């Protein structure tokens, strides 16, 4: 409910009050970090498909981590995509399709996670090439499964069917 009162004239704010209000309202805030965060996205406006990323402080760090993880994943998975597979992976036509259902999904990650929990891991599940199979491998596969394809590529269902295919 609004308190309408269209009839009254515009109240005048005394000059001293206005000055005092301005004084207490103009506390400087360091905006350098904001500048970086906002302007880092601004160059997207000049591209045909421009969608700014919402970067909160936490996400900025998270996104950096995700990009690093993405690079690491790409480095890890690239040999599997481009070269003959190991004996274990050869059982499936798709790399990281550990449950051999024809696509890479969270179920592959879950297979690895349960194997880690139960102590029944397959060396081939070392998705991040760390030398051991642990929950990081499960997380890496889950992260791979949720990657969005570029807007003009195949729908998710098709991409999942072919994710990691050599």
Residues 22-51 that bind another protein (CB under 8 A): 22-27, 29-31, 33-35, 37-39, 41-51
Site for another protein in 103-162 (CB under 8 A): 105-107, 109-111, 113-114, 116-117, 138-139, 142-143, 145-148, 151, 156-157, 160
Residue selected from 8, 82, 83, 120 as contacting another protein according to rule CB under 8 A: 8
Minimum distance of another protein from residue 27's CB (angstroms): 4
Output 27 or 83, the one with its CB closest to another protein.
27
Closer residue to another protein in complex, CB, 43/122 = 43
Among positions 2, 82, 120, 152, the unique one binding another protein when judged by CB under 8 A: 2
User: DSSP letter string over the chain?
Assistant: ------SSPPPPPPHHHHHHHHHHH------HHHHHHHHHHHGGGGSSS-------HHHHHHHHHHHHHHHHHHHHHHHHHHSPPPTTGGGSSBTT-TT-SSS--HHHHHHHHHHHHHT---GGG-TT-SSS-SHHHHHHHHHHHTPPPPTTS--HHHHHHHTTB-
Q: Which of 72, 81, 93, 99 binds another protein (CB under 8 A)?
A: 99
């Amino acid at each position: 409910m609004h308190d309408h009162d269209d009839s009254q004239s515009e109240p005048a704010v005394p000059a001293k009050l206005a000055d005092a209000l301005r004084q207490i309202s103009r506390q400087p805030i360091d905006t350098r970090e904001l500048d970086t965060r906002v302007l880092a996205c601004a160059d997207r406006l000049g591209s045909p498909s421009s969608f700014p990323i919402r970067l909160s402080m936490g996400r900025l760090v998270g996104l950096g981590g995700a990009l690093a993880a993405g690079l690491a994943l790409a480095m890890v998975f690239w040999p599997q995509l481009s070269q003959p597979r190991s004996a274990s992976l050869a059982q499936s036509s798709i790399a990281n399709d550990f449950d051999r259902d024809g696509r890479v999904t969270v179920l592959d990650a879950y297979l690895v996670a349960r194997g880690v929990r139960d102590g029944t891991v397959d060396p081939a599940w070392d998705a991040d090439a760390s030398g051991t199979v642990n929950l990081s491998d499960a997380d890496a596969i889950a992260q791979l499964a949720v990657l969005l394809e570029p807007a003009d590529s195949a729908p998710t269902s098709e991409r999942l069917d072919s994710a990691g295919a050599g």
